[in-house]
Amino acid sequence: MNLEFVLQYEAFEQAMQGYRTLQPRRDHILTVIDFTLPSTEKRMVVLDMKNEKVLYHTIVSHGRNSGDKYARSFSNRHGSYQSSLGFYETENTYQGGNGYSLVLNGLEKGINDQAKSRAVVIHGADYCSESFIKSTGRLGRSYGCPALPRNVNKPIINTIKEGTLLYIYADNPEYMASTKIVHAVDERGLLAQNDVGIDSLGTLN
């Protein structure tokens, strides 16, 4: 699994910190969304940690009040219509107003712990598509949900549901000042400091 052109190192490193600390129930899958990228690029990566494979690499929408082409503002507040950063545990699926959807439980108090009550879920959306990008120059935006293209929504949800870890990254100083899970590490420092158990993932970088 070569992530050089799929996921930037800082996003992967921080996601790995949470993966080791939080020890998700279903630890064979790790999902990372990189909101430093514009919505016209593939910002969601679903990783098979056991078999060292990239399962999905796709576009994903952000909240309408987080920004236009780039997500720059984030909130945990009800009615903000902004995306929230940090670590989430995936829960159950359901059929809602946006079709097949996946409940997300925000794991970081004050950062994303209102996600479930805000109904921030993964769902499919017509405004998350390559055709929408071609017509507007960016993706459409949600009320705060990480919305996916309809053609990959169901398979991705079925892959990551019920206890896997999702990390939404944005290189955001406010998040770094508030999180108790992610700590600043020198470049490539995480892998150097965690030799034990990382051998099988050495090809990730």
When pLDDT is averaged across residues 162-177 and rounded to a whole number, the result is: 97
Question: Is 200 within the bounds of a domain?
Answer: no
pTM: 0.90
Structure confidence at residue 2 as a pLDDT band (50, 70, 90): confident
Higher pLDDT, 42 or 192: 42
pLDDT (tens digit per residue) in 15-65:
999 999 999 999 999 999 999 999 999 999 999 999 999 999 999 999 999
What is the domain-level CATH number for residue 51? 2.40.440.10
- Within a domain: 198: no
- The string over 7-43, giving b where at least 16 C-beta atoms fall within 10 Å of a residue's C-beta and e elsewhere, is bbebbbbbbbbbbeeeebeeeebbbbbbbbbbbbeeb
For the chain, the domain total comes to: 1
pLDDT at 186: 59
Q: Mean pLDDT for the chain?
A: 92
Asked if residue 205 has pLDDT above 50, the reply is no
Decide if 202 is inside a domain.
no
d(CA 31, CA 156): 10
Q: Is the pLDDT of residue 6 over 80?
A: yes
Domain ranges, residue 97: 9-190
